[in-house]
Amino acid sequence: MYKNAAVISISEEVLLDLLHLKGGTIYSVYKEKEFGSDVISFVIEHPDLPEVEAGNKPFHIAPSYTHYNEIINGKKYTRIEHIDPPEKDV
């Protein structure tokens, strides 16, 4: 029996940009091991994320995003807006 599968690689910079955490650092990526889970988790360091004391585990957060479609010059674009956690003013 065959499955359709591949290893998909994406640069850290692109992934962080998609998550609206540009300039951050990804330390690990893993899939939750619960049966049927569709959650992929990332351990990321970024100024917009909660502060963690050295030696402690980072908090689990579920960022909120909203997206909408718009048409510009006859082309359809999907826009993604980062809702929570709020981006800090730099």
One DSSP character per residue, 14-70 reads HHHHHTT-TT-EEEEEEE--STT---EEEEEE-TTSPP--TTSPPPP---EEEEEEE
Quote the pTM value: 0.66
Answer whether residue 44 is part of any domain. yes
Residue range 29-60, pLDDT digits in tens: 988 776 666 788 899 999 988 899 988 999 88
Number of domains in the chain: 1
Answer whether residue 7 is part of any domain. no
Answer whether residue 61 is part of any domain. yes
Mean predicted confidence (pLDDT) in 57-78 = 83
Answer whether residue 89 is part of any domain. no
Summary mean pLDDT of the chain:
84
Answer whether residue 37 is part of any domain. yes
Domain ranges, residue 79: 12-84
Answer whether residue 45 is part of any domain. yes
